[in-house]
Chains A and B, each alone.
Chain A
Amino acid sequence: MGNKTVNLIGKNSMRIVLTLLPIIGFLILWQLAAMFTSIGNLMPGPIQVIESLFISFAKPLGPHTIQMHALYSLKRVMVGYGSAVVTGIIFGVSLGLSKMFRALFRPLFELIRPIPTVAWIPISILWFGVDEMSKYFIVFYGAFANVALSVYMGIQRVDPVLVGAAKMLGCSERQLTFKVVLPSCIPYIFSGMQVALSAGIMSVVVAEMINSYEGIGWNIHAGQQTANMTQVLTGMVALAIFGLLMAAILRQVERRMCAWNTRNT
């Protein structure tokens, strides 16, 4: 028994080592390059960036500290992404269930979908002004199609035998939607939400870089304007942490809600 436990620990620590090795290697290479090559004239090394990140928790970058910038970005993501998830699910379900709705809105949806988020920024400023509303819109636009499409796909892939089984058990058409079709779409909804989250974060950064006085995107933009590479890189590192945290939270929610979809939970 003891033998096996040791074996397992060995395997786990091996995995951790394998995960960390490339990251640490990358940081060391970067640091060495910043110290000993001409790259050092252009940009700071990781130690300096991490130092600046910690300093920015207390000392404002522009108008705000880094955590306040992050909160601004977070608010924009939450509002835009949240509304995209809700409307995207409704839109996707309608698309999947109603032939009428599909005939009416599918072509319009397919027509608008290929236009990249960035291209909407001028119009969104025209429509919603330079305030928060235009940023919400951009995030919403970036996330919406991903959610809607996955839900639509999920509905198309509902097992017809399950639908037949539910009918034989006395399910009405209305019950069918809520008791069979929607639950079996949940995994698709979550995978759509994951993709939409990345799209939403990307959109908020773009929106903030073009039109904002705060947020992580602004940080990067301001850094570029003042040729302050430390600020640019600080913003990038903050973004990486921000995105990682959001995705992890979403995965936890999924694990809770889809216990039936995973073994041994």
Chain B
Amino acid sequence: MEYQKYIEGRKAVITCKNVCKEFDIRDRKQAGSFRVIDDLSLSIYENEFVVLFGPGECGKTSAINILSGLDRPTAGSVFQGDTQITRPGIERGVVYQSIALFPWLTVMGNVEFGPKARGIDRTQSRKRAQELINLVGLQGFENAFPISLSGGMRQRVGIARAYANDPEVLFMDEPFGALDAQTRYMMEEEILRIYEHEKRTVVFVTNNIEEAVFLADRIILLKSCPTSVKQEYIIDLERPRSYTAPRFLEIRQKITRDMDKAL
């Protein structure tokens, strides 16, 4: 089977077992809980580019929060290698849809934030930060504050910041969701370039099927809320991919047909 062949010889980096997540509802009328994730199990392998794709508001962000350790599951467990993930840690980096740069720090200050907080040697962390700023194409903007940058440039800083701690896995939670269509295309090419350069496992969340097929080695399709894995697809298209190649459009339409119709 295609999937078996794909995972052959690959080491699982993140293993998520039977995870459920419920949120308490505090309403004037009723008390209860709302189930967002229902028995989610999946594995993520070393150095692959995985896309979690699902309909809007299906619980993708909750899943990322649990996988990254920012939030605890109601039931089930998540492992990185052999250690259980129970809290935020520098072995995992996150890029956010809202970008979430520290507005009072410059580009350099933002990228250096992690290493500095951990007390890494200053000259060494500065050198690495500069390297990453160059990699994302922001040389010359080291001393600019986020407010003076465009959306695309800000997210480049967000990406560099996540890489600065040298995490084993990078989670990207709809990082281009707030950008317009064309900046998005450009950033998709950029993220692949960066991924090729700094080989890391990337878990990328999106609700845009075009983006999913363009980027992924493997797409995990999620059900609508409460979410779990619906289906997986190995995308074996050559890179660079064309958005309009017949095979591309075929895969895209197949996945679109398979996904839950949520309204």
Contacts and interface: CB of A to CB of B under 8 A. Distances in A.
A–B contact with Cβ pairs below 8 Å: the answer is yes
Interface of A: 159, 161-162, 164-172, 175, 179-180, 183-184, 186, 258-264
B98 A183 contact: no
19 contacts: A161-B98, A162-B100, A164-B94, A165-B96, A165-B100, A167-B70, A168-B69, A168-B92, A169-B90, A170-B118, A170-B165, A184-B102, A184-B104, A259-B145, A260-B103, A260-B146, A260-B147, A261-B104, A263-B148
Given A161-B98, A162-B100, A261-B103, A179 B147 contact: no
The majority secondary structure among interface residues of chain B is loop
Given A169-B117, A172-B117, 6 more contacts: A162-B102, A165-B94, A168-B68, A168-B69, A169-B164, A261-B104
Contacts of A170: 89-90, 114, 117-118, 165
A95 to B, nearest CB: 22
Nearest to A165: B100
Given A161-B100, A164-B70, A171 B147 contact: no
B222 to A, nearest CB: 21
Nearest to B119: A170
Interface of B: 65, 68-70, 88-90, 92-94, 96, 98, 100, 102-106, 113-114, 117-118, 145-148, 161, 164-165
A171 B117 CA distance: 6
Contacts of B103: 184, 260-261
Contacts of A164: 65, 70, 88, 94, 100
A167 B70 CA distance: 8
A-B residue pairs, 6 tightest by C-beta? A169-B114, A167-B88, A260-B145, A170-B90, A183-B104, A165-B100
A183 B145 contact: no
Contacts of B90: 168-170
The majority secondary structure among interface residues of chain A is helix
B100 A159 contact: yes
B161 A169 contact: yes
Contact of B165 (A162, A169, A179, A186): A169
Contact of B104 (A159, A168, A175, A186): A186
B113 A166 contact: yes
B102 A180 contact: yes
Contacts of B100: 159, 161-162, 164-165
A48 to B, nearest CB: 50
B148 A264 contact: yes
A186 B65 CA distance: 28
Contact of A179 (B68, B96, B117): B117
Contacts of B69: 168
A259 B94 CA distance: 27
Looking at B93, B147, B165, the one whose CB has the most chain A CB atoms below 10 A away is: B147
Contact of A168 (B70, B105, B118, B148): B70
Looking at A179, A184, A260, A264, the one whose CB has the most chain B CB atoms below 10 A away is: A260
A184 to B, nearest CB: 7
Contacts of A172: 117
A219 to B, nearest CB: 43
B94 A263 contact: no
Contacts of B161: 169
Given A165-B96, A170-B114, A262 B147 contact: yes
Contacts of A162: 100, 102
Contacts of A171: 117
Contacts of A168: 68-70, 88-90, 92-94
Looking at B100, B145, B146, the one whose CB has the most chain A CB atoms below 10 A away is: B100
B102 A183 contact: yes
Nearest to B118: A170
A218 B11 CA distance: 81
B194 to A, nearest CB: 18
Contacts of B113: 166, 169, 179
Contacts of A161: 96, 98, 100
B122 to A, nearest CB: 16
A166 B146 CA distance: 16
Nearest to B93: A168
Nearest to A161: B100
B113 to A, nearest CB: 6
B93 A261 contact: no
A10 to B, nearest CB: 29
B91 to A, nearest CB: 10
B1 to A, nearest CB: 36
